[in-house]
């Protein structure tokens, strides 16, 4: 089955399930994706009425992780007394993983959330296409069969879909919600563990420490500290981010290399064992920086040390937030 057909089927099933949730009064609102207004984009949308469900879509540009809007819960998802509404959320696998992490960390009330699950077929690597097109305006990006077709004023370019999706999506093993049928309509799976090979970071791991340093430094040259990576991250929900602490100031906020580097590395550390591999942080970056390999490396360390994968259920607290008497601690002296 081609990607184009699969997208149509997913869109239909999302709409049907959304309609069902609203008509049976199981939820007050649905949060999902709608058609973007510029190529390579999509817009998150809140649906309140049954007749609006046809605005919901699925395509391979629905890169925002919708769990982002749950913690802190945005005002549009609350009633007039600022109490949480019952929310239906269009959930690819990584959205559900993020909801699970938020639930395990007591940030969301799962009783108020229904997932609309489906078998996600991956997200297009926006910046890779953007870079290859260069200084020509894209007017339309569409999937035809198994290709991504990019059209401009008087040109057209074809990209094979399976080569132009995010590296994370290529190795993804949680394509549909890891949830139970009571918390999910549509497709879902029950998962205890997955066998992630972390093959997406093989290249990075093979570099020497100096090479890694130079590689990251080079990537960060264009960072403007707009914090879109932090803002798009579904599990970054602190009321006051460490980098915003100003009484007293904890970190420098200049564009000098050490400040930018510190922000990104400390942010990544805060995600150790919590990153759900959605890739939203790199998809949203306005200057196309992809630092997923850092969080992925941390995930791998956590997996090896604690046999833990984030967001597979809503009960297990991420290991970095938990303590057990038999925790292995020798790594504190090791290089990894």
Partner 1 sequence: MDQKILKKNQIGKLYKELSGEYSFFAPINKKGNIVFEKIENAEDIILDYLNSKIPPKSVLFPQEEVLFEYTLDDKDIEITDRQDLEQKYLIFGIRPCDAYSFELFANFFSFHGDWKDEIYLKKKENTTLIGIGCNTPRTTCFCTSVGGNPFNKENMDIFLSDLGDSYLVEGITDKGKALIKKLSWLSDATKNDVKKAEELAKKAEELITTKIDVDKVVENLSTCFEDPVWDEISEACIGCGSCAYLCPTCTCFDVIDETDHYNNRGRRIRIWDTCQSCLYTMETSGHNPRDTKIQRCRNRIMHKFSYYPTNYDLLGCVGCGRCIYVCPANNDLRVILDKIKKIEKKEGEKVVA
- The verdict on 252 binding partner 1 (CB under 8 A) reads yes
- The verdict on 307 binding partner 1 (CB under 8 A) reads no
Tell me whether residue 132 or residue 181 sits nearer to partner 1 (CB atom).
132
Distance CA 304, CA 273 (A): 11
**Diameter of the chain measured on Cα atoms:** 65
* Interface with partner 1 (CB under 8 A), residue from 105, 130, 146, 196: 130
- The verdict on 9 binding partner 1 (CB under 8 A) reads no
Kindly report the backbone phi and psi dihedral angles of residue 152, in degrees, each rounded to the nearest multiple of 5, phi listed first. -120, -165
Q: Find all residues with CB under 8 Å of 326, minimum gap 6, and list them.
A: none
- The verdict on 84 binding partner 1 (CB under 8 A) reads no
- The verdict on 238 binding partner 1 (CB under 8 A) reads no
Query: Count residues contacting partner 1 (CB under 8 A)?
Result: 50
Return the SS3 of 166: coil
Report DSSP state, residue 165: B
Q: Provide, rounded to whole angstroms, the least separation between the CB of residue 75 and partner 1.
A: 5
Q: What share of the chain is helix, strand, coil (3-state, %, to 5)?
A: 40, 15, 45
- The verdict on 83 binding partner 1 (CB under 8 A) reads no
Q: What angle do CA 230, 236, 239 make, to 5 degrees?
A: 105
- The verdict on 214 binding partner 1 (CB under 8 A) reads no
Q: Provide, rounded to whole angstroms, the least separation between the CB of residue 323 and partner 1.
A: 31
* Interface with partner 1 (CB under 8 A), residue from 7, 16, 28, 41: 41
Tell me whether residue 38 or residue 328 sits nearer to partner 1 (CB atom).
38
Return the SS3 of 113: strand
**DSSP output for 53-110:** GGG----TT--S-GGGGTTTTPGGGB-TTSPBPPEEEEE-HHHHHHHHHHHHTTSS-G
* Interface with partner 1 (CB under 8 A), residue from 190, 197, 256, 322: 256
In this chain, which stretch among 5-13, 198-206, 264-272, 282-290 interacts with partner 1, using CB under 8 A?
282-290
Asked if the bond preceding 248 is cis, omega within 30° of 0, the reply is yes
Contacts with partner 1 by CB under 8 A lie at 36-38, 41-46, 64, 68, 74-76, 127, 130-131, 135-137, 139, 153, 218-219, 221-222, 224-228, 230-232, 240, 244, 246, 249, 252-256, 283-289
């Amino acid at each position: 089955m081609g990607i184009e057909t699969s997208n149509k089927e997913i869109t239909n099933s999302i709409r049907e399930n959304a309609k069902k949730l609203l008509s049976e009064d199981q939820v007050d609102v649905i949060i999902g994706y709608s058609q973007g207004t510029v190529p390579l984009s999509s817009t998150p949308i809140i649906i309140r009425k049954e007749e609006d469900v046809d605005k919901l879509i699925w395509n391979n540009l629905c890169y925002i992780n919708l769990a982002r809007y749950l913690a802190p819960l945005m005002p549009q998802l609350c009633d007039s007394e600022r109490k949480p509404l019952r929310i239906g959320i269009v959930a690819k696998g990584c959205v559900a993983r993020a909801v699970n992490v938020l639930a395990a960390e007591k940030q969301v009330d799962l009783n108020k959330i229904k997932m609309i699950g489906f078998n996600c077929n991956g997200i297009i690597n926006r910046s890779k296409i953007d870079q290859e097109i260069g200084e020509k305006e894209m007017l339309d990006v569409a999937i035809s069969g198994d290709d991504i077709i990019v059209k401009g004023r008087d040109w057209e370019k074809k990209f094979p879909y399976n080569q132009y999706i995010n590296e994370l999506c290529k190795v993804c093993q949680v394509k549909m919600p890891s949830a139970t049928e009571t918390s999910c309509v549509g497709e879902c799976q029950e998962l205890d563990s997955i066998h992630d090979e972390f093959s997406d970071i093989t290249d990075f791991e093979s570099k020497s420490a100096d090479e890694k340093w130079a590689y990251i430094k080079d990537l960060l040259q264009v960072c403007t500290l707009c914090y879109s990576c932090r803002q798009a991250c579904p599990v970054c929900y602190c009321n006051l981010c460490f980098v915003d602490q100003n009484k007293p100031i904890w970190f420098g906020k200049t564009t000098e290399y050490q400040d930018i580097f510190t922000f990104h590395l400390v942010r990544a550390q805060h995600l150790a064992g919590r990153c759900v591999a959605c890739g939203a942080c790199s998809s949203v970056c306005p200057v196309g920086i992809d630092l997923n390999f850092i969080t992925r490396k941390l995930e791998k360390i956590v997996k090896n040390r604690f046999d833990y994968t984030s967001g597979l259920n809503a009960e297990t607290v991420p290991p970095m937030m938990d303590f057990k008497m038999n925790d292995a601690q020798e790594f504190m002296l090791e290089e990894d």
